[in-house]
Chain A
Amino acid sequence: MFRSLLFIPGNNPSMLQNADVFLTDAVIFDLEDAVSIKEKHNARNLVKNYLQTSTVLPKQVVLRVNSVDSIYFGEDIKLLKTKKIDYLLIPKMNKETMHKVDIVLNDFERKNNLEQIKLIALIETAQGINEIDYFAENKRLSALFLGGEDLANDLEIKRTDSNNEIHYARSRVIFSAVANGIIPIDTPYTDINNVEGLRKDSEQAKELGMKAKASIHPNQLEIINEVFSPSMDEIDWARDIVRLSKENSDIGVFQYKGKMIDKPIIEKAEKIINKAKQFGIM
Chain B
Amino acid sequence: MINGAKRYIPDDMCAFISSKNHLNKERKLIERKQKQLNTVFLDSLSDVFDILNIDSNMVLSFHHHLRNGDKVIQLVAEEIRKRELKNLHLAPSSIFPSYTNLVNLIKNGNITNIHTNYLNGEVAKVISQGYLKGKLIMNTHGGRARLIESGDLGIDVAFIACPVVDKYGNGSGAVGKSACGTLGYAISDLEYAKKVVLITDTVVDKLDNYQLDGQFVDYVLTVDSIGDSSGIVSGTTQITNDPIGLKIAKDCANLLDFLGLIKNGFSMQTGAGKTSLAVVKYVEEIMKKNNVVGEFASGGITKAYVDLLEQGLFKKLYDVQCFDLDAVQSFQKNKNHLAMSASEYGNPFEDNPICNKLDFVILGATEIDLDFNVNVTTDSLGNLIGGSGGHADIAYGADVTIIISPLIKSRIPIIKEEVMTVTTPGSDVDILITERGISINPKRLDLRQKLKDSSFPIFDIKELFDLSHKITGVPKKIINNKEIIGFVEYRDGTYLDCIYKVNHGF
Contact with B along A200-235 (1 / 0, CB 8 A): 000000000000000001110000000000000000
Interface residue B247 (Cβ < 8 Å from any Cβ of A): yes
Q: Does B479 contact A (CB under 8 A)?
A: no
Within 8 A of A (CB), among B233-258: 241, 243-244, 246-247
**CB nearest neighbor in A for B435:** A21
**A56 and B408: CB pair below 8 A?**
no
B435:A219 contact, CB within 8 angstroms = no
Cβ of B484 within 8 Å of any chain A Cβ, yes or no, is no
Residues of A within 8 A of B241 (CB): 219
A23 and B470 within 8 A (CB): no
Interchain CB contact under 8 A, A56 and B243:
no
A122 to B467, CA, bound (A): 35
Cα–Cα, bound, A218→B240 (Å): 13
Q: Which chain B residues (108-135) contact chain A, with CB distance < 8 Å? A: none
A21 to B470, CA, bound (A): 15
The total of chain B residues at the interface (CB under 8 A) is: 12
Complex contacts, B470 vs chain A, CB 8 Å: 55-56
Contact A21 B436 (CB under 8 A): yes
- Who on chain B is nearest to A222 by CB? B250
A49-63 with Cβ < 8 A to chain B: 54-56
Asked whether A18 is an interface residue with its Cβ less than 8 Å from the other chain, the reply is: yes
Does B471 interact with chain A (Cβ within 8 Å)?
A: yes
B-contact bits for A127-149, CB 8 A (1 contact / 0 none): 00000000000000000000000
Contacts of A218 in B (CB 8 A): 243
A173 to chain B, nearest CB (A): 28
Bound Cα distance from A21 to B241, whole angstroms: 16
Interface string of A1-34 (1 = CB under 8 A from B): 0000000000000000110011100000000000
Check A17 against B408 for contact (C-beta < 8 Å).
yes
In the docked arrangement, what's the CA distance between A217 and B243, Å? 8
Annotate B158-185 by CB proximity to A: 1 below 8 A, 0 otherwise: 0000000000000000000000000000
A276 to chain B, nearest CB (A): 14
B241 to chain A, nearest CB (A): 7
Q: Which residue of A lies closest to B436 (CB)?
A: A21
With beta carbons under 8 angstroms apart, the residue of B243, B411, B467, B471 that contacts A22 is B243
Alpha-carbon separation in the docked complex, A23 to B436 (Å):
11
A217 CB contacts on chain B under 8 angstroms: 243
A13 to B: closest C-beta gap in Å: 8
Q: How far is the CA of A17 from the CA of B470 in the complex (A)?
A: 12
The winner among B246, B247, B436 for most chain A CB atoms within 10 A is B247
CB <8 Å contact, B246 and A219? yes
Interface residues of B in 382-414 (CB under 8 A from A): 408, 411
The answer to whether B244 and A56 touch across the interface, beta carbons within 8 angstroms, is no
Scan residues 224-280 of chain A and give those whose CB is less than 8 A from a CB of chain B. Answer: none
Instruction: Report the count of interface residues on A (CB-CB < 8 A).
Output: 11
* A56 in contact with B435 (CB, 8 Å): no
Docked pose: A55 CA to B244 CA in angstroms? 19
**With A18-B435, A21-B436 known to touch, is A54 a contact of B247 (CB < 8 Å)?**
no
Q: What residue of chain B has the Cβ atom nearest to residue A23's Cβ?
A: B247
Q: Which residue of chain A has the shortest Cβ distance to B406 in the bound complex?
A: A18
Residue of B nearest to A21 (CB): B435
In whole angstroms, how far apart are the Cα atoms of A55 and B411 in the complex?
15
Across-interface contacts of A23 in B (CB, < 8 A): 247
A86-99 vs B, Cβ < 8 Å mask (1 yes, 0 no): 00000000000000
The distance from the CB of A130 to the nearest CB of chain B, in whole angstroms, is 37
CB-based contact B471/A219 at 8 Å? no
Shortest CB-to-CB span from A282 to chain B, Å, is: 11
Which residues does chain A contribute within 8 Å of B247, judged by CB atoms?
A: 21-23
Expressed in whole angstroms, the minimum distance between the Cβ of B470 and any Cβ of chain A is 5
A17 touches B411 (CB 8 A): yes
CB distance from B242 to the nearest CB of A (A): 9
A14 to chain B, nearest CB (A): 8
Closest to B470 in A: A55
Question: Do residues B471 and A54 form an inter-chain contact, with CB atoms below 8 A?
Answer: yes
User: How far in angstroms is the closest Cβ of chain B from A133?
Assistant: 38
Task: Determine how close the nearest CB of chain A comes to the CB of B285; give it in whole angstroms.
Answer: 13
Distance, CA A217 to CA B244, complexed state (A): 12
Find the A residue at minimum CB distance from B250. Answer: A222
A218 to chain B, nearest CB (A): 3
Q: How many Å lie between the Cα of A116 and that of B212 in the bound state?
A: 78
Residue among A17, A23, A217 having the largest count of chain B Cβ atoms under 10 Å? A17
- Find the A residue at minimum CB distance from B407: A21
> Of all chain B residues, which has the CB nearest A15?
B243
Q: How far is the CB of B163 from chain A (nearest CB, A)?
A: 36
Nearest residue, chain A, Cβ from B410: A14
Which residues of chain B from 453 to 470 have a CB within 8 Å of any chain A CB? 467, 470
Instruction: Let me know if B411 and A219 touch, CB within 8 A.
Output: no
What CA separation (Å) do A21 and B435 show in the bound complex?
7
Distance in angstroms from B63 CB to nearest chain A CB is: 38
The interface residues of chain B lying within 8 Å CB-to-CB of A56 are 436, 467, 470-471
A residues in contact with B435, CB < 8 Å: 18, 21
Chain B hits for A21, CB < 8 A = 244, 247, 435-436
Residues in B with CB closer than 8 Å to A17 are: 408, 411, 471
Report the minimum CB–CB distance from A21 to chain B (whole Å).
5
Q: How far is the CA of A218 from the CA of B245 in the complex (A)?
A: 11
Q: Which residues of A contact B467 (CB under 8 A)?
A: 56
Task: Give the shortest distance, in Å, between B370 (CB) and chain A (any CB).
Answer: 21
Q: What is the distance, in angstroms, from A220's C-beta to the closest C-beta of chain B?
A: 9
Query: Please, which residue of chain B has its CB at the minimum distance from the CB of A18?
Result: B244
Q: Check if B243 sits within 8 Å of A219, measured CB to CB.
A: yes
A111 to B365, CA, bound (A): 51
Contact with A along B295-318 (1 / 0, CB 8 A): 000000000000000000000000
Please name the residue on chain A nearest to B248 by beta carbon: A21
Query: Which residues of A38-56 are within 8 A (CB) of B?
Result: 54-56
**Alpha-carbon separation in the docked complex, A219 to B249 (Å):** 13
Sample 25 A-B pairs with CB under 8 A, ordered by A number: A17-B408, A17-B411, A17-B471, A18-B243, A18-B244, A18-B435, A21-B244, A21-B247, A21-B435, A21-B436, A22-B243, A22-B247, A23-B247, A54-B471, A55-B470, A55-B471, A56-B436, A56-B467, A56-B470, A56-B471, A217-B243, A218-B243, A219-B241, A219-B243, A219-B246
Which A-B residue pairs are the 8 nearest by beta carbons? A218-B243, A55-B470, A21-B435, A219-B243, A18-B244, A21-B436, A56-B471, A219-B246
What 4 additional pairs, Cβ within 8 angstroms, besides A18-B243, A21-B244, A217-B243? A21-B436, A22-B243, A218-B243, A219-B241
